[in-house]
Amino acid sequence: MKLCIDTADVAQIRHIYTFFPVDGVSTNPSILAKAGRDPYEVLKEIRSIIGEDDELFVQVMARKANVMVEEAHRILQELGKTTLVKVPCTPEGFKAMKMLREEGIRFIGTAVYTAMQGWLAAKCGAEYVAPYVNRIDNMGFDGIQVAKDIHDAIAGSGYDSGLLAASFKNSQQVLELARYGVKAVTAAPDIIEGLVKNAAIDHALDAFTEDLEGLCGKGRTMADL
């Protein structure tokens, strides 16, 4: 399963890229707004951090299909071919997806709250479909179950697509979807760090250090015994 970072904070992206096995960065208009700078300036900086090969996800803003396609052209021109265009799963969005597919432009269906939306986006040729797990939970439904339903509907239909599940409230949800075999998730930096935030790990390492230093001297490691 791919693991992407859902942020436009370049310091956090640098940090997570240094320490964690991540595969790309996703953004949306609200995330870009938080950065408080020119969106293309921020996105180009992100591209320079993650390299040319990793996937960068950038959302269109228009509500009309023909303008979404214009936005897709500009996004690719500015940020390169490993950038995937995020298109909302609305009727206009599906129209835009069919046009992008004709042009061979890579895209992802976003703003997904139901399995039906996700299945339609996959049918339109979306490389990924992004259910908003936590937001679905907050509506009184089961976001993880909706994500699993979309995964199953895509597999059942035999489409060449998969999830980029988004909007997580905790790290366990990420693991649950990994166990289910989904294609990708994107999570905020704190959710990714939460995958390994555990006092028991620190205590175990402290005890190992104390034991070896007791035998060989303070500050010694296996490199200098």
Which residues contribute to the site for ligand G3P (CB under 6 A)? Answer: 6, 28, 132, 134-135, 166-167
Least distance to ligand G3P from the beta carbon of 76, Å? 19
Q: Closer to ligand G3P at the Cβ: 54 or 209?
A: 54
Q: Report, in Å, the least distance between residue 119 CB and ligand G3P.
A: 19
For the chain, give the number of residues. 225
Least distance from ligand G3P to the Cβ atom of residue 166, Å: 4
Spatial separation of the C-alpha atoms in residues 107 and 82, rounded to whole Å: 10
In the bound state with ligand G3P, the residue whose beta carbon lies nearer, of 141 and 211, is: 141
Q: Which residues lie across from 109 on neighbouring strands?
A: 87, 129
Pairing of strands 107-112, 128-131: parallel
Between 141 and 208, name the residue whose CB sits nearer to ligand G3P.
141
Distance separating alpha carbons of residues 177 and 200, to the nearest angstrom: 24
The whole-angstrom separation of Cα 163 and Cα 183 is 5
Strands of 60-119, DSSP E: 83-88, 107-112
Instruction: Name the phi and psi angles at 3, rounded to 5.
Output: -125, 115
Which residues, in sequence order, are CB contacts of 120 under 8 Å at separation 6+?
Answer: 89, 94, 109
Question: What minimum distance in Å lies between the beta carbon of 31 and ligand G3P?
Answer: 6
Nearest approach in angstroms of CB 162 to ligand G3P is 16
Q: How far apart are CA 140 and CA 10, in angstroms?
A: 34
The residues carrying an active-site annotation are 86
Judge contact between 133 and 144, C-beta under 8 A. yes
216 Cβ neighbours under 8 A, 6+ residues apart: 225
Task: Judge whether 50 and 37 are in contact, CB under 8 Å.
Answer: no
